[in-house]
Amino acid sequence: MTIKDIAKACGVGVSTVSRVLNNRPDVSPEVRARVLEVVESTGYIPNNSARDLGRSQTDAIGVVVRGTGNLFFSEVIKTIALEIDRSGCTMVPRYIGSDDDEVKAGAILEREKKLRGLIFLGGRFDYTPAELSLIGVPYVCCSFTNCFGSLSEAEFSSVSIDDYRTAYLAVEKLIERGHRRIAALIPSCSDHSISELRYNGYRDALRDHGIAFDPDLVMENGGCFGMPETYQGMRTLLERGAGFTAAFVLSDTTAIAAIKALEDAGRRVPEDVSVIAIDGLEISGYTSPTLSTMVQPAEEMGRETVRLLLEVLNGGENRHVRLETAFRTGASIRTL
Amino acid sequence: MTIKDIAKACGVGVSTVSRVLNNRPDVSPEVRARVLEVVESTGYIPNNSARDLGRSQTDAIGVVVRGTGNLFFSEVIKTIALEIDRSGCTMVPRYIGSDDDEVKAGAILEREKKLRGLIFLGGRFDYTPAELSLIGVPYVCCSFTNCFGSLSEAEFSSVSIDDYRTAYLAVEKLIERGHRRIAALIPSCSDHSISELRYNGYRDALRDHGIAFDPDLVMENGGCFGMPETYQGMRTLLERGAGFTAAFVLSDTTAIAAIKALEDAGRRVPEDVSVIAIDGLEISGYTSPTLSTMVQPAEEMGRETVRLLLEVLNGGENRHVRLETAFRTGASIRTL
């Protein structure tokens, strides 16, 4: 008899049973009574060895946030916080720079705060089993997964979009509108991370549509995800002189910086250059021009992340969830 | 002999002594040895009644974040998180809506998580002693203070800008540039909160410069701090037909929404209407036009907030810190 069986017998979720067993307030009296009745009648014994350590040592969920300037993460964090609250657990955040090692930060946090589980919000995609052996609790990779690494899929959970495919689709939106000279502004083509995946999507979309790849149209921002670096990257790209009518940019905020660089150089968006990105922030629906972008479902990403972690904490298997993105039409692209 | 005396004798900060006494890893061996030597030689006895509750029950600092869409708060939260980490304490965040009651949320969080202290990031300015008696631990109001309320200044700490004065200065920037028909877009003129203070600054700046107040130029957004509401507010204001050459908008994100509403209605910024705001987000330095705005020091605000809370937790007095803002010139205002 596991907590899952109890949940099934009661017709409620595992986290509801967990809340009742931990005497949390956020359960209705009816549900509480039903769960306790089933618990009693089945003779279910909660895992007291964990509970006896004291709630404060076992309900902490660490959230390592990598890349502190990421506005998309700000949207995801809110949902993660709300969902962790709802589960009765305690969220313990730790912010690290985009070049910092999230695995080491997570391992330290785990030991310092006696975590039950961990969420990595942003990280590398090329973990080895040896590196991740530092982590002794279940963890979920949020917004990324381990497609360049050698970890077994059974060892961890992940919630992300398909970065390769989303970039492919974004570039296809430009191609469909007649663009063939399409630039790419990304932190790195070979970081074994989000920008390499999106770069591959860009290249393959060109290839599949019979467009020759031109390295002069690719601008790497030295691995940086920031707006100043992307602004400068676009200026440098323009100075190269390789003509282009469209640009695929890694994220909404960097696309806004790229648009400013274009306008400061006398290029109008979208009249002279079309710009498309990935994220779908609220604010990029208000900038001028509004941004055409592939929307990542921030709330769903946060909600699924916490759901997967709670499942594993309650005895479930690790899972990998890929979320769909949706194209949001803006005024930043035009048909040639 | 207090922890402050120990710190002074060792030539280190109170938080360093606290870290040594709590056996935290982030202290150098030299400093640790020096502190322990002084502790031993002076016979200092740490406050064990608190420590004996167990570290996990006494190092938690709750952070109630009010208004989950606030990008300025996102910048402050990062610093709060880093500084709480640095102190060896554990940050426990809770996100609530901009209409939710932060005091009630804080009181619940305090009981649920056995907090040592609380930070309110955003909140009302009109607390009564009875309301705040729900809170049993030291707390700091971050980004606001209690200027409409009846709480004694000794009962709490706060870190904020002078909202009234900052709005006054922003409107003065417009007046200096020859504007006399100046609109105000704010959530509310009488919310006993941040928008009432800023509205008062707007009115008094007009008055002090001999400009007659025109209620037709004031647009309240039904108490909402969001971009869609502000966009609609600007559209409604334009439909009223009261002419204006400039607008003061509550925040950077709402100013970006207001600029879009102006442009969608065929008004150019700044040629037809100048726009100024308060916040100084990084992103509003990249939007088109770049925003002229009064910059709140987000990092300093976060740092001071945690510093004040730690001071009080270590036996210090409550304090109230007002931070300076700085004008950031953008392309959204012009001289008539």
Q: What string of DSSP letters covers A143-190? A: S---TTS---GGG-EEEEE-HHHHHHHHHHHHHHTT--SEEEEES-SS
The arithmetic mean of pLDDT across residues B83-102, rounded, is 92
**Of chain A residues 275-294, which have a CB less than 8 A from chain B?**
282-283, 286-288, 290
Chain centroid offset of residue A293 CA:
16
Contact A105, A96 (CB under 8 A): yes
Q: Which residues of B touch A108 (CB under 8 A)?
A: 25
pLDDT at A43: 53
- Confidence (pLDDT) at B149: 83
Res B58: pLDDT: 65
Domains and CATH numbers, chain A: 3-46 (1.10.260.40), 55-161+298-324 (3.40.50.2300), 164-296 (3.40.50.2300)
pLDDT at position B83 is 96
- Give the per-residue pLDDT at A51: 37
C-alpha B217: how far from chain center: 27
| A287 three-state secondary structure | coil
Interchain proximity A71–B283, CB inside 8 Å:
yes
pLDDT digit string (tens) for chain A, length 336 residues: 667 777 888 888 877 877 777 666 677 777 877 777 776 666 555 543 333 334 444 689 999 999 877 899 998 999 999 999 999 999 999 999 888 899 999 999 999 899 999 999 998 888 888 888 999 999 999 999 887 888 899 999 999 999 999 999 999 999 999 999 999 999 999 888 899 999 999 999 999 999 999 999 999 988 888 999 999 999 999 999 999 999 999 999 999 999 999 999 999 999 999 999 999 999 999 999 999 999 999 999 999 999 999 999 999 999 999 999 999 999 999 999
Q: For residue B107, what are the CA distances in angstroms to A69, B114, B132, B135, B300?
A: 31, 10, 9, 5, 26
pTM of the model: 0.82
Query: What value of ipTM does the predicted structure carry?
Result: 0.81
pLDDT digits (tens, 9 = 90+) for B256-310: 999 999 999 999 999 999 999 999 999 999 999 999 999 999 999 999 999 999 9
**What is the strand order of the sheet B90-96 is part of?**
B90-96, B60-66, B117-121, B139-142, B157-161, B320-323
**pLDDT score recorded for residue B25:** 62
Q: Is A78 on the interface with B (CB under 8 A)?
A: yes
* AA letter at B61: I
What distance, in Å, lies between the first and last C-alpha atoms of chain A?
64
pLDDT digits (tens, 9 = 90+) for B119-145: 999 988 888 888 889 999 999 999 998
CA proximity to B15, closest of B25, B5, B3, B2: B3
Distance CA A226, CA A243 (A): 24
Is the distance from CB of B258 to CB of B231 less than 8 angstroms? yes
Asked which of B74-78, B243-247, B318-322 is least confident by mean pLDDT, the reply is B74-78
Residues of A in contact with B231 (CB under 8 A): 286
Q: Sign of the CA dihedral A223, A226, A228, A232?
A: positive
Report the alpha-carbon distance of residue A96 to residue A37 in Å, rounded. 45
**CB distance from B92 to chain A under 8 Å?**
yes
Nearest CB partner across the interface for A113, out of B90, B260, B287: B90
CA distance B62 to A87: 17
Chain A CB contacts of B263 below 8 Å: 288
Buried-state track A23-42, b at ≥16 Cβ within 10 A, e below 16: ebeebeeebbebbeebbeee
B238 burial class (0-12, 13-18, 19+ CB within 10 angstroms)?
Answer: buried
d(CA A291, nearest CA chain B) in Å? 11
State mean pLDDT over B62-90. 92
Residue A190: burial class (beta carbons within 10 Å; 0-12, 13-18, 19+)? exposed
B7-16 pLDDT, tens digit per residue, is 888 888 877 8
CB contact under 8 Å between B260 and A286, yes or no, is: yes
Q: Can you give the pLDDT at residue B23?
A: 60
Nearest chain A residue to B268 by CA distance is A288
pLDDT computed for residue B5 by the predictor: 76
**Measured distance CA(B171)–CA(B240) in Å, rounded:** 22
Q: How does the average pLDDT of chain B come out, rounded?
A: 90
pLDDT of residue A25: 62
DSSP helix/strand/coil, B66:
strand
More confident residue, B72 or B57: B72
Residues 101-130 of A with CB under 8 A from B: 108, 112-114
A281 and A290 in contact (C-beta within 8 Å)? no
Whether chain B has a CB inside 8 Å of the CB on A236: the answer is: no
Distance CA(A205)–CA(A317), nearest Å, equals: 35
| B111 vs A contacts (CB less than 8 Å) | none
Instruction: Quick: pLDDT tens for B60-72.
Output: 999 999 987 789 9
Interface test with A, best of B57, B74, B115, B252 (most A CBs within 10 A): B74
Distance (Å, rounded) from C-alpha A113 to C-alpha A90? 11
Q: Is the peptide bond before A138 cis (omega within 30 degrees of 0)?
A: no
pLDDT confidence of residue A14: 78
B57 pLDDT band, cuts 50/70/90, is very low
Nearest Cα residue to A305 out of A174, A131, A121: A121
Kindly determine whether residue B95 and residue A78, on different chains, have CB atoms separated by under 8 Å.
yes
Give the C-alpha separation, A324 to A294, whole Å: 10
Q: Measure the CA–CA gap between A16 and A18, rounded to whole angstroms.
A: 5
3-state secondary structure of B91: strand
Between CA B233 and CA A123 the distance in angstroms is 40
Neighbours of B216 (CB within 10 A): 12
Cβ separation B260–A288 shorter than 8 A: yes
> Angle CA(A30)–CA(A36)–CA(A42) in degrees, nearest 5?
135
Strands A246-249, A182-186: parallel, antiparallel or unpaired by DSSP?
Answer: parallel
Span B158-183, pLDDT tens digits: 999 999 999 999 999 999 999 999 99
Chain A residues in contact with B85 (beta carbon < 8 A): 94
Q: Report the pLDDT value the prediction gives residue A42, as an integer from 0 to 100.
A: 65
CB contact under 8 A, A286 and B69: no
Contact A227 B56 (CB under 8 A): no
Eight-state DSSP code of residue B188: -
**Nearest Cβ partner of B94 from A57, A81, A113?**
A81
Rg (Cα) of chain A, in Å, rounded?
23
Q: Measured between beta carbons, which residues in chain A are less than 8 angstroms from residue B54? A: 54, 56
Check B282 against A256: CB less than 8 A apart: no
Min Cα separation B15/chain A (Å): 17
